[in-house]
Amino acid sequence: MVIRQTMSTEDYLEAIALLANGGKPVTVTEISRFLGVKKPSVTHALRKLSAAGLVKHERYRDVTLSTEGAQMAQDVYRRHKALRQFLREILNVAPEVAEEDACRMEHFLSPVSLERLAKFLEFTLNSPHGEPEWLKGFSYYFEHGKRDEKLLARCRREDSGKG
Amino acid sequence: MVIRQTMSTEDYLEAIALLANGGKPVTVTEISRFLGVKKPSVTHALRKLSAAGLVKHERYRDVTLSTEGAQMAQDVYRRHKALRQFLREILNVAPEVAEEDACRMEHFLSPVSLERLAKFLEFTLNSPHGEPEWLKGFSYYFEHGKRDEKLLARCRREDSGKG
DNA sequence: ATGGAGTGTTAGCCAAAGCTAACTAATTCG
DNA sequence: CGAATTAGTTAGCTTTGGCTAACACTCCAT
């Protein structure tokens, strides 16, 4: 798949939001370090974001998000978190890989799908009796390449009980 | 989120593969129509793909995929299908939305995550007793905003039976 | 208060992927 | 067969987002 070497507006907003959460004022240098991009690229991006009203930035000064900018950043980050959590906690993908995939996919999840994914995670991970059986079943299936006989047996008992 | 107005190499490969499956020879015009891009853009892209050895194309002639090109196209399409199926059949997202989201995300799913997602779908959708209970439970949860009392009650019985 | 280190900006370049306009090749049909 | 239509290409421009080199501003430490 594709290695992205170009940042989008959303990446800048997300980065600024994350850095701002660190408490310290957000600087061009830090954004540059965070995104792995040179400082002129950041300045360039900030001009656009500023023109779009997403960011407040006076020359040589710190950067802050506008209300809309913060909103957008939060939306991106929500998608990021949902995707990462799905990859890690449902699919059991390694944390670093989950993070990378989430970073790249976060820009492309529609609001509808996000809503459903979030609900799905909520439903699954806040299950009232701890990790659901089926999720354990999936771990088994993934590791052994077949379904867990014990669980299957139990299902069969339930099926016959119902019929 | 982002509206992509620029196609990647992978989009062209996938399009060519899909059109080739239609049986008819693949032309610049068709690729152009399929991707919603002007013909010079296709010619341009084909030059690159051809240089990269992913596509066979002589001037004014039809287009075919090379072995590696076909391989890459298949990889993209596999990601596409897995994502679409997850969105549709697990999250119950509307088909058109699922298709669009899959189209945009397909380029960014790592091999590891794809493998796990595919297994997850296999595990869930080939369940030996039809649609799993938990998936029905999630539908209920999504529509009603709370868990299905009947299922919860049954779980409680099982819990006490185990303890 | 000022000079230098470090931070930020500007100017100007490159590459990718689009586009339109204008051209050339291929094909079809009278 | 040859002209007209369709298909494909080329040239050249635009935008976007990088980059480097060089310049400008800040601010701390002397």
Q: For strand C, give the nucleotides within 7 A of a protein CB.
A: 7-12, 17-22, 25-26
pLDDT-flagged residues of chain A (< 50):
162-163
* Interatomic CA distance for residues B69 and B16, integer angstroms: 10
Is A141 inside any structural domain?
Answer: yes
Q: Do B112 and A94 touch (CB under 8 A)?
A: yes
Interface list for B 96-125 with A (CB within 8 A)? 97-98, 100-101, 104-105, 107-113, 116-117, 119-120, 123-124
**Adjacent-strand bridge partners of A57:** A63
Q: Which of A1, A113, A152 faces B91 most closely, judged by CB atoms?
A: A113
Please identify, among B41, B71, B101, the residue that sits at the C-terminal boundary of a domain: B71
Please identify, among A54, A70, A86, the residue that sits at the C-terminal boundary of a domain: A70
Best of B72, B110, B148 to disrupt the A interface (most A CBs within 10 Å) is B110
At residue B46, does pLDDT exceed 50? yes
Write out the residue range of the structural domain in which residue B16 sits. Answer: 9-71
Predicted pLDDT of residue A157? 58
Q: Is B52 near chain A, with CB under 8 Å?
A: no
Radius of gyration of chain A (CA): 21
- The CATH number of whichever domain residue A22 belongs to comes to 1.10.10.10
Is B57 inside any structural domain?
Answer: yes
Predicted pLDDT of residue A12? 98
Q: Is A163 near chain B, with CB under 8 Å?
A: no
Q: Which residue spans within chain A are E strands per DSSP? A: 55-57, 63-65
Please identify, among B33, B53, B71, the residue that sits at the C-terminal boundary of a domain: B71
What percent of chain B lies above the pLDDT cut of 90?
Answer: 84
Predicted pLDDT of residue A7? 86
Q: Which of A1, A92, A107 faces B109 most closely, judged by CB atoms?
A: A1
Is B143 inside any structural domain?
Answer: yes
A vs B, Cβ pairs < 8 A, gives: 122
Is A140 inside any structural domain?
Answer: yes
Is B53 inside any structural domain?
Answer: yes
Is A51 inside any structural domain?
Answer: yes
Predicted pLDDT of residue B5? 74
* Interatomic CA distance for residues A97 and B111, integer angstroms: 10
Chain A neighbors of B161, CB-CB under 8 A: none
pLDDT digits (tens, 9 = 90+) for B6-21: 889 999 999 999 999 9
Predicted pLDDT of residue B61? 97
Predicted pLDDT of residue A3? 78
Average pLDDT, chain A: 92
Is B119 inside any structural domain?
Answer: no
Task: State how far the alpha carbon of B74 is from the alpha carbons of A106, B11, B16, B130, in Å.
Answer: 23, 11, 11, 29
- A 10 A CB-CB count for A33 gives 14
Asked if B15 contacts B54 with a C-beta cutoff of 8 angstroms, the reply is no
Predicted pLDDT of residue A163? 40
Q: For strand D, give the nucleotides within 7 A of a protein CB.
A: 7-12, 17-22, 25-26
Q: Do A113 and B152 touch (CB under 8 A)?
A: no
Q: Do A147 and B137 touch (CB under 8 A)?
A: no
Predicted pLDDT of residue B155? 61
Query: Residue B157 — very low, low, confident or very high, per pLDDT cuts 50/70/90?
Result: low
Is A135 inside any structural domain?
Answer: yes
Domain count, chain B: 2
Query: Residue B163 — very low, low, confident or very high, per pLDDT cuts 50/70/90?
Result: very low
Average pLDDT, chain B: 93
Q: Is A142 near chain B, with CB under 8 Å?
A: yes
| Residue written as token pair 């980050």 | A77
pLDDT digits (tens, 9 = 90+) for B57-101: 999 999 999 999 999 999 999 999 999 999 999 999 999 999 999
C-alpha closest to that of B15 among B41, B92, B3, B89: B41
Q: Do A2 and B107 touch (CB under 8 A)?
A: yes
